[in-house]
Amino acid sequence: MKRPINVAIIGAGGKRAMAFAEYISQHPEDAKLVAMADSNIEKTKCIKNYFNLDADIYSDIKEIVKRSDVEAVVVCTPDNAHLIPVVEALKSNKNIFIEKPLATTLADCDAMIEAAKNSMAVCYLGFNLRHSPGYEKVHNLITQGKLGKITTIEANEWYYGGKDYFRRWNRFSSLSGGLWLTKACHDFDLITWMAGGKPKSVYAVSSLSHYKSKPNAALRCRDCPLKDTCPDFHDLDKPSNGSLAPLLSKLEYKMQQDGPMAPDLCLFNSEKDTFDNGIAVIQYDNDIRATYTVNVLAAKTTRQMKIIGTEGMVELDIADGIVIFTKRHTNEVIQYDLKKDMLTSHGGADEKIFADFFNLCRNGGTPRSGLDDGRLAVRISLAAGKSDDIDMPVKI
């Protein structure tokens, strides 16, 4: 019988912390949440109480890492604030799970990798989509040689809910690295995992096509003359119906109200320095080319991937949960219906990556995605951002 791992979450007031807290509440045999830390104590209390967890709450992360009963630390702080909690946890030889991206600078990546060399701890980078049954099947078909020599990879992310980035800290490059990092790093990692080569160069273009300043709108939805007709209106009075997100929104309003992170901040008039749609082209050293499109103006949310090789083609739409493999020359089509395994968050990936992390904490082993994978994704993301800025391809 397996023993539950004692876990602490740092950055416990955010969305990914909520996912971990929910998993732990549903799988007490796997993990026990014993400590939580965040600068926003009220949101942390709300999440703790919502999932009925028995965890101590701290404002100082050093108080957590010095606890002898804490075996694993989950880092869910904003993207630019991973370094200190990761290094502190590794100094105390705590197993760590770091939310993607690893960092917003290569210097921070290198500092964490160096700290990991002096620790026996498990260091897991949260590229959860590698664990989605759909992407696992695509990767298995590639490694089994079913597609022959890969030539091109096409990846698309359409994210209706991504518009909310323009109300959150993600809209500032200083905190998130911009959407080329905070959002695209997931897909750059997936593409590289599928390609099996080293990225050589990237060319990226983007635009803030829709969520530009709107003079006839207010800064906050509650004050806006367009609120009765605006499809992006955020209703602070909407009943929570017992779900957590509206409860946190009301709490955020209570604390922020007129602040820069008010939950009803206008998507158009909020201060921002990122984009709402973009395309990147990546060249790999093994003669593979890849394209990636991210668009938060989409009418639905999904990720898609299409990979073409000399012996066949594979297609995946994560919302459908079906992998389609078509053999070249014969046009024989094989469908893999994985819907029942992809019903939970991120196409079934979250539960699997959390379970894998806790299993490694108990038994040791190599993470499916580690710090070096995280650093490579950051390299691609930063190069894409630079390319977008100068309108030229950039070597990686």
Which helix (H) or strand (E) element contains residue 347? Answer: helix 345-363
Spell out the domains of the chain, with CATH numbers in brackets. Answer: 5-121 (3.40.50.720), 130-211+272-345+375-395 (3.30.360.10)
Query: How many C-beta atoms surround the C-beta of residue 392 within 10 A?
Result: 10
Return all residues near 302 (Cβ < 8 A) that are at least 6 apart.
Answer: 157, 158, 317, 318, 319, 320
SS3 282: strand
**Token digits of residue 185:** 């790093």
**pLDDT, the chain, mean:** 94
Best CA proximity match to 38, nearest among 20, 59, 54, 62: 59
The tens digit of pLDDT for each residue in 276-306 reads 999 999 999 999 999 999 999 999 999 999 9
**Could you tell me what percent of the chain has a pLDDT over 90?**
85
pLDDT classification of 15: cutoffs 50, 70, 90: confident
Confidence class of residue 39 from pLDDT cuts 50, 70 and 90?
confident
DSSP symbols for 209-272: -SS---TTS-SBGGG-TTTTT-TT---TTS--TT-HHHHHHHHHHHHHTTSTT-TTB-TTTS--
Token pair of 296 as six digits: 């938060």
Burial pattern 311-334, b for ≥16 Cβ within 10 A else e, equals ebbbbbbbbbbbbebbeeeeeeee
CA 54 vs. chain centroid, Å, equals 27
**Amino acid letter, residue 186:** H
What distance, in Å, lies between the first and last C-alpha atoms of the chain?
46
Q: How many CB atoms lie within 10 A of CB 91?
A: 15
- Which pLDDT does position 13 carry in this prediction? 80
Backbone phi and psi for residue 233, each to the nearest 5 degrees, phi listed first: -60, 130
Burial of 291 (0-12, 13-18, 19+ CB in 10 A): middle
Q: Could you tell me the sign of the dihedral formed by the alpha carbons of 27, 28, 29, 32, in that order?
A: positive
The winner for highest mean pLDDT among 43-47, 175-179, 326-330 is 326-330
CA-CA distances (angstroms) from residue 139 to 105, 116, 146, 291? 29, 28, 10, 17
pLDDT at 63: 93
Q: Which two tokens stand for residue 394?
A: 């950039």
pLDDT for the residue 253? 62
Strands (E) located in the chain? 5-10, 31-37, 56-58, 72-75, 95-99, 123-126, 150-158, 199-207, 277-284, 289-295, 302-309, 312-317, 322-327, 333-337, 394-395
pLDDT value for 8: 98
Give the pLDDT mean for 79-99: 97
Q: For the segment 342-389, what is each residue's pLDDT rounded down to a tens digit?
A: 887 888 899 999 999 999 999 999 999 999 999 999 999 999 999 999
Nearest to 292 by CA among 196, 189, 162, 376: 189
The average pLDDT across 47-71 equals: 94
What count of Cα atoms within 13 Å lies in the side-chain half-sphere of residue 274? Answer: 31
Contact 243, 143 (CB under 8 A): no
Of 271, 86, 16, 251, the closest CA to residue 166 belongs to 271
pLDDT tens digits, one per residue of 238-274: 766 767 776 776 676 666 667 777 889 999 999 999 9
Beta strands in 328-371 (DSSP E): 333-337
Q: Across-strand partners of 74?
A: 9, 97
Percent residues over pLDDT 70 in the chain = 96
Residues written for the chain: 396
Q: Which helix (H) or strand (E) holds 63?
A: helix 61-65
